[in-house]
Copies of this chain bind each other. A is one copy, B any other.
Amino acid sequence: MPQINFTTLPGIPLVKDGDDLVEIILAAAAQADLTFADGDIIVIAQKIVSKAEGRLIRLADVTPSAAAVALAKATEKDPALVQLILDESSVVMRSKPGVIIVRHRLGHVGANAGIDQSNIETEEGECALLLPVDPDASAKMLQQGLQAACGVQLGVLIGDSLNRPWRLGTTGGAIGCAGFQVLNDQRGGQDMFGRELKVTMINRADSIAAMATLAMGETDEGTPVAIVRGYAPDADGSSAADIMRPLEEDLFQ
């Protein structure tokens, strides 16, 4: 029977600015006696990619603009945090006390431009963690590094927890991808009875990210890396950017 397996990788240390995630992941895999195989998809939490890329910002270093101060007042949030949210966004879509929903410059719509304030080391004061500058490029780089070291074909997916407008609770989504087709476009194909499938396009990347993020989040310790086996990557050449619905199709701006 077809099987797909999710394994969370233990032994990933706290990641710091400048760390080499390829080295860290390979060391953890070696310690866990896990060998990557052709077709594995390595899911990596956005949090450690952002940290390795130096995207942790001290709020004390941020000077809020007048617009940030006004929005912070309306939403009861820290003005420096709001400045970072505005810097990372193309448009504020909705706001109310406690909530700022924006379209991130990468296209993702959600709360706080994906800026994370949990599990951020606080030695140097209050910090916020921004998304990677170009998560698709990060995924490609990690894929190439891991493939070169292991000599196998891999997919890499950078996942983050996303909010949704009408459903409670976060689910993981893909913000960076390399090595597999993120959308399985069956439009124009036929169903079992020969009827044309008019609108079937399955989001593989978000589906894998959802389950991997759940698996990561449910363990006691932070396990920011998961290996998905049995779901072979296919032709390369697509990226998480392909997931973004074009603005002209957006009925909920």
Residues of A at the B interface (CB closer than 8 Å) are 1-10, 32, 34, 94, 96, 99, 101, 103, 107-109, 111, 117-122, 161, 164-173, 182-184, 191-193, 195, 197-204, 206-208, 210-211, 213-215, 217-219, 221-223, 231, 242-245, 250-252
Contacts and interface: CB of A to CB of B under 8 A. Distances in A.
A30 to B, nearest CB: 13
A3 B70 CA distance: 47
B2 A5 contact: no
A250 B215 CA distance: 28
20 contacts: A1-B32, A3-B7, A5-B6, A99-B251, A120-B195, A122-B195, A166-B250, A167-B173, A167-B244, A169-B201, A169-B243, A170-B202, A170-B203, A171-B210, A192-B221, A192-B222, A202-B213, A202-B217, A210-B211, A215-B231
A34 B5 CA distance: 17
A84 B221 CA distance: 48
Nearest to A95: B251
CB-CB nearest 3 A-B residue pairs:
A169-B203, A211-B211, A207-B214
